Each structure stands twice: as C-alpha cells, then as structure tokens.
Amino acid sequence: MTRVSVCMATYNGALYLREQLESILVQLHPEDELIISDDHSTDDTRSIIASYKDPRIKMIMNTGKTGHVGNFSNAMAHATGEFIALSDQDDIWVEKRLDRMVALLQGLRPHSLVVGDIVEFDSNGVRANQRPLGPTPANKYLQMLYIYLGRSKYCGCAFLFRRELTRYVLPIPSYIISHDLFTVLCASVHGKVVHLEEKTLMHRLHGNNKSPLRRGGLWYIMRSRVINTIGLLQSSFR
C-alpha cells in the first residue's frame, strides 16, 4: 500500500519547480507517490516533470482549466496513500519534514491533520518572515473560532492529513475560494488539527503566488467565511 501521496498542483511553474521537486523526492520512500495535477501549463512545466524518470511521479492533466482549487481537488482525487501531503510548485521542503509529520499524524485519530510552521522568503532567497503557529487550541470549537477570526493562519502547503479526511473534503465544491481553509475546517470538525511546532517549509513569495500576499478586505474575508461554512455543512452530510 502507498504510504504517502504528495499532491502538487502546477500551472506555469517552470521557474521554481525543479528546486521544489528535488526537495520533495529526496524525502519520499520507495512506496510513496508524487501526484502532479497540471492545469494546462504553457511553459516548460510539463517537460521538466517528464525529465524525471522517477516511477513515484504521476502526472495528470485536467480535462479543462480548473483554477488552483480545482487543480488541488483533482490531485487529491488520484491519491492512493494512507497519508496526503499538499504541495505548491514553488516552495522548498525542509529536510526530513515528511517523516516527522507522518510520525505525529500516526498517533492521531482518522480525519486528523498536522500542519507545520513555515518560513517565508522572497524570490532572491532573503528571509521575509517566520510564521510560527503556536500550540494547538484546547478544543475544536476554539480552533474553529481562531480560524474564522484569522488568528490561526493556515497554509495548505504545510498540511499532512489522513486520506480518510477526503471523505469530507472531496470533491471540493466549485464555489470554495480557499482549499486550505476548507480542508482545515473539515479536519477541525471531524478529527483533530495538531501543530508541529518546528520549521517544515520554506514558502516562496513572488508576484505570481496563488495565495494572496496581503490579507483581503473585509468583504472578501466575510464572503470567504460564509462560503466555507456552507461547504462545511454540505460536506458533513456526505
């Protein structure tokens, strides 16, 4: 059985893709897999992926252009591993982070999620900001309140969760704006979210990030919270 499925969404990511792939592949076990869902890239993204003759890499093409949320949904739908890690195309995984996160998640109940700390850096390699999450809130209701208030700032590229959680996450509704928040909310309701309080990811900031570099306005935030609540309620009855 596949141990870990790393699910990466790509679109015109040739500039930084090779560095990210190298940081991931060195951490994968022989029984792991790297699922890459490409949203019809027009640069060298697909040729870079094809240049790796690694049987653990499985590239899929979307049937149509889906956007980043649909792209991640497609990658997760093809995962066969016991655990699923999400990956952006332009970050760098910290050495040995995958095994540390798996070890922590193995002790948790199904539908749970582990998230690590990230360090942000710019396209020149200069550290911009460290984002420690701190301890996990005492209970799931407080956890969800922190998420809705924006106090717990989660980034999907630092997630590892059991595949059982996809029962509630997939398919991600087409109206969902942020797969990160939707996934961690599902884990908060149906399992447990635990913070690995150590650096696990170098998160690259540049002009083409799909995650906004600045916090959205009040209308965007309120709309996102309402949409995620609707999706969460619907997924609970699957």
Q: Is the pLDDT of residue 216 over 60?
A: no
Domain ranges of the chain: 4-235
Give the global pTM: 0.90
43-84 residue pLDDT tens: 999 999 999 999 999 999 988 888 999 999 999 999 999 999
CATH number of 4-235: 3.90.550.10
d(CA 74, CA 36): 9
What are the phi and psi torsion angles at 10 (to 5°)?
A: -120, 145
Total residue count of the chain as it appears in this document: 238
Task: Give the bridge partners for 91, in sequence order.
Answer: none
140-177 residue pLDDT tens: 888 888 888 877 789 999 999 999 999 999 999 999 99
Structure tokens that stand for 107 in this block? 């002790």
